[in-house]
Amino acid sequence: MAGIVVHDHSMQFHKQGQSPVNFEAANQDLRGAQFQYFGFISSFGSWIIMQFNIQGDTIIYKYFAGQTRTDYDALWNASGEYTGASDIFVTFDQIGASL
């Protein structure tokens, strides 16, 4: 499979009844044959990391989210590579409590 190409460089998350939060692309790690990671940060400091779990011709999207930039930065090294665990990701509908 060729590398993933990101055409939309922003993401919007909206909790029901609350204002939307806009996220801008911040990091991407395309090194892995199975897992690839894309990080997004809001102007408020909250963040989402999207994991692509590539299984043959199928990509399973999972997410990890948090509220502080310090926590986000601890998951990426100086080269912009994701250094956190691969088993901490959940489906998108489960990240609302983290933001």
pLDDT in tens, 53-75: 888 888 899 999 999 999 999 99
pLDDT at 1 over 50: no
Q: In b/e form, how buried is each residue of 11-25, taking b as 16+ CB within 10 angstroms? A: eebeeeeeeebebee
Lowest mean pLDDT among 30-34, 60-64, 65-69, 90-94: 90-94
**What average pLDDT score do residues 29-43 get?**
91
pTM: 0.78
What does the pLDDT read at residue 15?
59
Question: How high does pLDDT run on average in the chain?
Answer: 82
Q: Tell me the domain boundaries of the chain.
A: 21-92
